[in-house]
Structure 1
Amino acid sequence: MSYHKRLLLLAGLDSLIVFAAVYFSYNPLHPSLETVRYENIVSSALVLLICHHVFASMFLLYNKAWEYASVGELVGITKSVTLSVLMLTLFQYIMSYEVYGRVLFSTWTLLVLLIGGSRFWWRITRDRFIKAKKIMTNVLIIGAGQAGTVVARQLKNNRDLGLLPAAFIDDDPKKYKLQILGIPVAGTSKDIAAVMEKYAIDKIVIAIPSLQKQELATIVAECSKTKIKPQIMPKLEDIMMGKVAVSSFRDVEVEDLLGRDPIKLDIEGISEYVSAKTVLVTGAGGSIGSEICRQICKFQPEKLVLVGHGENSIYTIDMELRNQYGKQIEIVPVIGDVQDRERMFEVMEEHAPAVVYHAAAHKHVPLMEDNPREAVKNNVFGTKNVAEAADTFGVGTFVLVSTDKAVNPTNVMGSTKRIAEMIIQKLDQASETKFVAVRFGNVLGSRGSVIPLFKKQIQAGGPLTVTHPDMTRYFMTIPEASRLVIQAGSLARGGEIFVLDMGEPVKIVDLARNLITLSGYSTDEISIRFSGLRPGEKMFEELLNEKEIHPEPIYPKIFIGRAVLEQEQEVEFLLQQFEHFSATQLKEYVINLANRKKNRVFLVAK
């Protein structure tokens, strides 16, 4: 219905209601007033009608979407009617009509009841009859607080979504058996299965923004007994900023269960060394590198240089950042391989960055066991090229993205990352540039990580392959890892190795079970098979060895270690004699070097 037709319909309906209210107030309700002059009644009705339309327009009663009518609309009706009756009283007084209080009160009451009733009748009709034919999905909302109420109201008011809030679950005993927006609080998280059966629930929405990871894991475990995958509401800040709708629910991901509460960034410290500066990121198309770029853009650098050798990945992150930040930040995509020393010096000289984040690396452990030469070329020589270019052209801060596998490494990948740390530590001793490294554990969802592999195996019907039932790893999310890298730059004094408080290590088999559950299956439907340790793998990882540990965090959840720089001669020998090593010799040499062991290959060659 058009606006003008709607306006005429409501105004006409209200006109009939006003005349009816005046008529019934004077005649059937108060028959003793039959002697009142007819023309006085008519004039009073006309004045009341004019006043009502004026105040109804003032309170926007003809502009409301009455299918969503609530208490706010009823308040507006009451105000409009009250002011109209008061104006009628004043008119009768001025015209020397006899003012009948009972008549005026009866008129006020009838107007509120009839006008309000007409509006709410439309909402009730729409909800219960017009929309009744639509097949609705019963929704269980976990959390009867502010967020849960927002979700429930949104679903009730938007029936087109086909989602009907049927019940709440909340662990607050004070809310049990209460009704919120007409929806019962039917039990606690322990009652999820029973409540779902009672109310024929088809969908679960978790609406508790303050929920801790362990609490969420407990709720998900209860939901898993029902075969229905739980979903979670968007962040309240995203809803308030208009980024997403309240109803934009998403599946609970394993990252939600394993990730920790994010570290609080030192905004002022980061802004001081990043804002209005030129920042260069190597490996900018990778999982960590691209997220570093996204996070950095929030601090408004003057220019962001995206360096990578994969044209597709660089194109993707370049387009993403241009669409979002292109008007505020100069974004420069650069295709170049960190192994190309001349190209790295050329890029560093052209853009003269104040900060460099070196995220380019080969990181796949078993793959690097089979390709030790490529691991050394990319992780060692690539780091050396970028770091020395940064030193030559006066970069202020250089942050190396390292790994927990660099601690007491048993594999080529971890060993090459430890040697990369040694290279920047050596440079830091004589350079004006502040060289630091950041270590963290496995990154959930990054390319080559276990999560995408498990998801593919689930899609194929299983089994999920886990190397050993006791294997553990530290885990963190991509944004969390990226924030640590950025925060480390602001804390850098030179030569440090920064480590995030990774919490407790997680068993890989538990991770696999969680992912199966979150995918809507059981371990009876999707099995887990143990395949044995792969080449170079350890049962558990460390973040700092005993010589590097500083027990007190330098920043909340961030620890600092100053790894001992030893065996500089052996590092130099590797760099000079690299081409003369066989693959087997190279593998033995880098692992021994990273573990500070006497190197038989080095002694023989020397």
Structure 2
Amino acid sequence: MKNGFYQNSKKYMNRFTRGIFLFIGDTLSLLFSAIIIYSILSSLSIAEKPFPIAHTTIIVGSVLIALMFFKMYMVNWRYTSLNDLGRLVLGITVGGGISLGLAHYFIGMGSYEATFTALVLTNGVITVGGFRISKRMYYGIIKSQKGKNKHAIIFGGENEGEQILRDILTNDHWNISVHGIFDDRVTPGLLLHGVRILGGKKAMIEYIKNNPVDQLIVAFPQYPKKDLKVIIDKVKEIRPEMDIKVLPSFHSLTDNPVGVEHIREVSIEDILGRKPVNIDLQTIKASITDKTVLITGAGGSIGGELVRQCANLKPDKLIALDIDETELFYIENEFKKTDANVIPCVASVTDKQKIDKILGHYKPSIIFHAAAYKHVPMMESFPEEAVKVNIGGTRLLASLACKHEVNKFIMVSTDKAVNPANVMGATKRVAEEVCMAYNGTCTTKFISVRFGNVLGSRGSVVPIFIDQIKNGGPITVTDPEMMRYFMTIPEAVLLVMQAGSMGSGGEVFVLDMGEPVKILDMAKDLIRLHGLIPYRDIQIKITGLRPGEKLFEELLNSEEGVTETEHEEIYKAVCSSKLSSSVLESRINQLFTLLEDDEDSESLRSLLKILVPTYTYNESKKEPILKRAKKPDESLLIG
């Protein structure tokens, strides 16, 4: 308590002393202006005039009071903006008008005094304005050039590039000096904050060939990623060691202006070849703002990003639920210094009593269900866990959502649910069937959103490849022809939120994942991004497909089609549930009977095959050690 009081006292003291400093500086600037004008008028006047002390006092006092009214003593001296200068001119003008009235009424106003007052006010704009921008000029022009030894260039000369350059010039902690700006949209030869526009992308490549460039900053968020990949490949070919930083093309749901803090190292996400997705922010805001939102799997990659994006939209309460207390701790800690009302809940989606209690207490309007077991090879070894969480957890949560009259239930699904070749995909397909079956049985609207692999998520291929590169290789690729659809975590999450806000219930939405990417090509790109050369510095080893893996993933079943929605990157799958809710319930119950009877994995797979006819897997030819796999009683499953 004492420490907090001390910090607040210090903050207010700093604000007070800064205001006093600016007040004194403005006073001296106005007096300096009066002395200059008096000197000029005295040299032009035949008769000697005494210095107009009374008029000067009224001018200075009136202007200072007007500047107080326009809050000019609450601004940051170093970051004085054009808006601040505009208020400064307005304050001097208003103060000048007041001083003319006061002087005329109390002292009298001759032609000399009127001229003196008008010239002092005009010159005061220059002297006071000069004082106010002096610190920014010092940091932007003089100090910004001291000790900066990195030769940098910027690709992008419009809004974002201008803001990044301005930040670099006014913040001396960046040890770089910008020597040129390149942009095909801007006329060459123009100056931007003293830095010349030298041409477009072709001129930039030539410049890099002929000059010792240390760093390239890409401040062009709208630039097509395929074209950016071509530029980065050329740059890395010329200078493999060059540091490349980018302003990401995709950001969160926030209106914060672009700044240096947004720039980061170039990554595989930046050259994936997808154009930035379009988001209807107003529709998403309407579905989240002032609502109570519950997110399961909040400690995971998708769930955690859902928490971050929802927090930007100011929900009333944001319940972050996960079984992993460590990840929940990090999520909670991330929002401690914000005004977001993030409430952590450690619970399993298979715990009926605990989930019932949570839903009854918080009464969420929206549930984003991201909790699931997603690791394909691991679930091949432990299929019973995939059944418990992916199917059982979804069914439990859906039934309780109905009980507590949740408005919307949005389940995060996967492309692996299409023609599944593994337990994980098959269980997620059953989870989709659960959502379709429950829709219409209560007031809750159930929606599934299906998408492909997410770059950078836990267990995804990119972090594995990066660790292998850091360890000197080799990178392991299962098959040279393997291809996957990829999307960044923020893109996937915002499209999930968009689809959820659009859905009226019962839909399985499919996200436009762009073009599939060869995993082998991705491995080569990652090696180049680290300033290395594939097969010379880092080897690539082909290891063969793992259990449950396919060469290609699909987003639709062969018998399915899609219809367009109002959003160009979200489609609705034409898939109706083949099972009635009673039959689905019966089959899921038999799955859990097998779990209780401790049946082997082949029994589970056989029953999953009946639940999901498109599920394919290699049946074991070996006799189990303890007992043979029982074939499910299909007579119980017909409906």
Q: Same fold (TM over 0.5)?
A: yes
Shift of the alpha carbon at 1:585?
Answer: 3.4
| Aligned residue-pair number | 573
CA displacement 1:156-196 (0-9 Å, x = unmatched): 34456443221111113x61233333322223212324323
Correspondences of 1:164-175 after superposition (within 5 Å) = 164-172=177-185, 175=187
Question: What CA distance in whole angstroms lies between the structure 2 residues aligned with 1:424 and 1:516?
Answer: 42
Question: What CA distance in whole angstroms lies between the structure 2 residues aligned with 1:166 and 1:464?
Answer: 37
Question: What CA distance in whole angstroms lies between the structure 2 residues aligned with 1:242 and 1:314?
Answer: 26
Q: Give 1:257's aligned residue.
A: 271
2:215 to 203, 222, 232: 203
The 3 A distance-change label for structure 1 pair 592 and 209 is same
SS of the equivalent of 2:299 reads coil
1:561 to 562, 570, 573: 573
1:369 to 380, 386, 410: 380
Instruction: With the length of structure 1 as denominator, give the TM-score of the two structures.
Output: 0.77
What percentage of residue pairs aligned between the two structures are identical?
33
Q: Give 1:380's aligned residue.
A: 391
Q: Does the aligned pair in 2 maintain the 1:18–1:49 contact within 8 Å?
A: no
SS of the equivalent of 1:533 reads coil
Letter paired with 1:152: L
Shift of the alpha carbon at 1:319?
Answer: 4.0
Question: What CA distance in whole angstroms lies between the structure 1 residues aligned with 2:220 and 2:158?
Answer: 7
Shift of the alpha carbon at 1:308?
Answer: 1.7
Q: Give 1:303's aligned residue.
A: 317
Question: What CA distance in whole angstroms lies between the structure 1 residues aligned with 2:171 and 2:37?
Answer: 32
Question: What CA distance in whole angstroms lies between the structure 2 residues aligned with 1:314 and 1:69?
Answer: 40
Question: What CA distance in whole angstroms lies between the structure 2 residues aligned with 1:498 and 1:213?
Answer: 25
Question: What CA distance in whole angstroms lies between the structure 1 residues aligned with 2:381 and 2:111?
Answer: 105
Is 1:229 the counterpart of 2:243? The answer is: yes
Correspondences of 1:245-284 after superposition (within 5 Å) = 245-246=259-260, 249-258=263-272, 259-265=274-280, 267-268=282-283, 271-272=286-287, 274-284=288-298
Question: What CA distance in whole angstroms lies between the structure 2 residues aligned with 1:396 and 1:6?
Answer: 59
Q: Does the aligned pair in 1 maintain the 2:214–2:243 contact within 8 Å?
A: no
Q: Does the aligned pair in 1 maintain the 2:606–2:632 contact within 8 Å?
A: no
Question: What CA distance in whole angstroms lies between the structure 1 residues aligned with 2:79 and 2:467?
Answer: 44
Q: Give 1:91's aligned residue.
A: none
SS of the equivalent of 1:185 reads strand
Q: Does the aligned pair in 2 maintain the 1:472–1:506 contact within 8 Å?
A: yes
Is 1:425 the counterpart of 2:440? The answer is: no
Q: Give 2:8's aligned residue.
A: none
SS of the equivalent of 1:186 reads strand
CA displacement 1:319-366 (0-9 Å, x = unmatched): 43454344xx4x443222223334333434444433322211110011
SS of the equivalent of 1:361 reads coil
Question: What CA distance in whole angstroms lies between the structure 2 residues aligned with 1:485 and 1:129?
Answer: 48
Q: Give 1:583's aligned residue.
A: 601
Question: What CA distance in whole angstroms lies between the structure 1 residues aligned with 2:134 and 2:488?
Answer: 51
Q: Does the aligned pair in 1 maintain the 2:23–2:64 contact within 8 Å?
A: no
Is 1:138 the counterpart of 2:151? The answer is: yes
Question: What CA distance in whole angstroms lies between the structure 1 residues aligned with 2:297 and 2:383?
Answer: 20
Question: What CA distance in whole angstroms lies between the structure 1 residues aligned with 2:416 and 2:235?
Answer: 36
Q: Does the aligned pair in 1 maintain the 2:29–2:127 contact within 8 Å?
A: no
Question: What CA distance in whole angstroms lies between the structure 2 residues aligned with 1:160 and 1:350?
Answer: 49
Q: Does the aligned pair in 2 maintain the 1:424–1:435 contact within 8 Å?
A: yes
Q: Give 2:200's aligned residue.
A: 188
Unaligned runs of 5+ in 1: 27-35, 88-93, 98-103
Letter paired with 2:392: F
Correspondences of 1:280-359 after superposition (within 5 Å) = 280-321=294-335, 323-326=337-340, 329=341, 331-359=342-370
Shift of the alpha carbon at 1:367?
Answer: 1.0
Question: What CA distance in whole angstroms lies between the structure 1 residues aligned with 2:307 and 2:139?
Answer: 49
Aligned Cα RMSD in Å?
4.8
Q: Which moved more, 1:67-76 or 1:216-225?
A: 67-76
Question: What CA distance in whole angstroms lies between the structure 2 residues aligned with 1:140 and 1:488?
Answer: 40
Q: Does the aligned pair in 2 maintain the 1:425–1:565 contact within 8 Å?
A: yes
Question: What CA distance in whole angstroms lies between the structure 2 residues aligned with 1:446 and 1:250?
Answer: 18
Is 1:465 the counterpart of 2:476? The answer is: yes
Q: Give 1:536's aligned residue.
A: 548
Question: What CA distance in whole angstroms lies between the structure 2 residues aligned with 1:57 and 1:376?
Answer: 73
CA displacement 1:61-111 (0-9 Å, x = unmatched): x999999999999998xx99xx9xxx9xxxxxx9899xxxxxx9xx99xx9
Shift of the alpha carbon at 1:3?
Answer: 6.1
Q: Does the aligned pair in 2 maintain the 1:421–1:437 contact within 8 Å?
A: yes
Shift of the alpha carbon at 1:433?
Answer: 3.2
CA displacement 1:458-477 (0-9 Å, x = unmatched): 22233322222221111122
Q: Give 1:545's aligned residue.
A: 557
Shift of the alpha carbon at 1:441?
Answer: 0.5
Question: What CA distance in whole angstroms lies between the structure 2 residues aligned with 1:291 and 1:398?
Answer: 17
Correspondences of 1:32-43 after superposition (within 5 Å) = 40=47
Q: Does the aligned pair in 2 maintain the 1:401–1:439 contact within 8 Å?
A: yes
Q: Does the aligned pair in 2 maintain the 1:187–1:195 contact within 8 Å?
A: no
Question: What CA distance in whole angstroms lies between the structure 2 residues aligned with 1:240 and 1:163?
Answer: 29
Letter paired with 2:159: Q
Shift of the alpha carbon at 1:442?
Answer: 0.7
Letter paired with 2:202: K
Q: Does the aligned pair in 2 maintain the 1:155–1:247 contact within 8 Å?
A: no
CA displacement 1:23-58 (0-9 Å, x = unmatched): 8879xxxxxxxxx5xxx2565999999999899989
Letter paired with 1:287: S
Q: Does the aligned pair in 1 maintain the 2:482–2:519 contact within 8 Å?
A: yes
Shift of the alpha carbon at 1:564?
Answer: 4.1
Question: What CA distance in whole angstroms lies between the structure 2 residues aligned with 1:96 and 1:504?
Answer: 78
Q: Which moved more, 1:315-324 or 1:494-503?
A: 315-324
Shift of the alpha carbon at 1:440?
Answer: 0.8
Letter paired with 1:577: L
SS of the equivalent of 1:402 reads strand
SS of the equivalent of 2:178 reads strand
Q: Give 1:101's aligned residue.
A: none
Q: Give 1:519's aligned residue.
A: 530
The 3 A distance-change label for structure 1 pair 128 and 319 is closer
Structure label with greater radius of gyration:
1
Q: Does the aligned pair in 1 maintain the 2:248–2:270 contact within 8 Å?
A: no
SS of the equivalent of 1:360 reads coil
Letter paired with 1:448: G
Question: What CA distance in whole angstroms lies between the structure 1 residues aligned with 2:335 and 2:135?
Answer: 47
Question: What CA distance in whole angstroms lies between the structure 1 residues aligned with 2:425 and 2:602?
Answer: 16
Q: Which moved more, 1:204-213 or 1:14-23?
A: 14-23
Shift of the alpha carbon at 1:521?
Answer: 3.2
Letter paired with 1:365: V
Shift of the alpha carbon at 1:206?
Answer: 1.7
Question: What CA distance in whole angstroms lies between the structure 2 residues aligned with 1:238 and 1:296?
Answer: 10
Question: What CA distance in whole angstroms lies between the structure 1 residues aligned with 2:440 and 2:143?
Answer: 77
Shift of the alpha carbon at 1:478?
Answer: 1.9
Q: Does the aligned pair in 1 maintain the 2:246–2:263 contact within 8 Å?
A: yes
Letter paired with 1:477: T
Question: What CA distance in whole angstroms lies between the structure 1 residues aligned with 2:252 and 2:26?
Answer: 36
The 3 A distance-change label for structure 1 pair 593 and 183 is same
SS of the equivalent of 2:437 reads helix
Q: Does the aligned pair in 2 maintain the 1:405–1:541 contact within 8 Å?
A: yes
1:407 to 407, 418, 424: 418
Is 1:179 the counterpart of 2:191? The answer is: yes
Shift of the alpha carbon at 1:439?
Answer: 0.8
Q: Does the aligned pair in 2 maintain the 1:141–1:204 contact within 8 Å?
A: yes
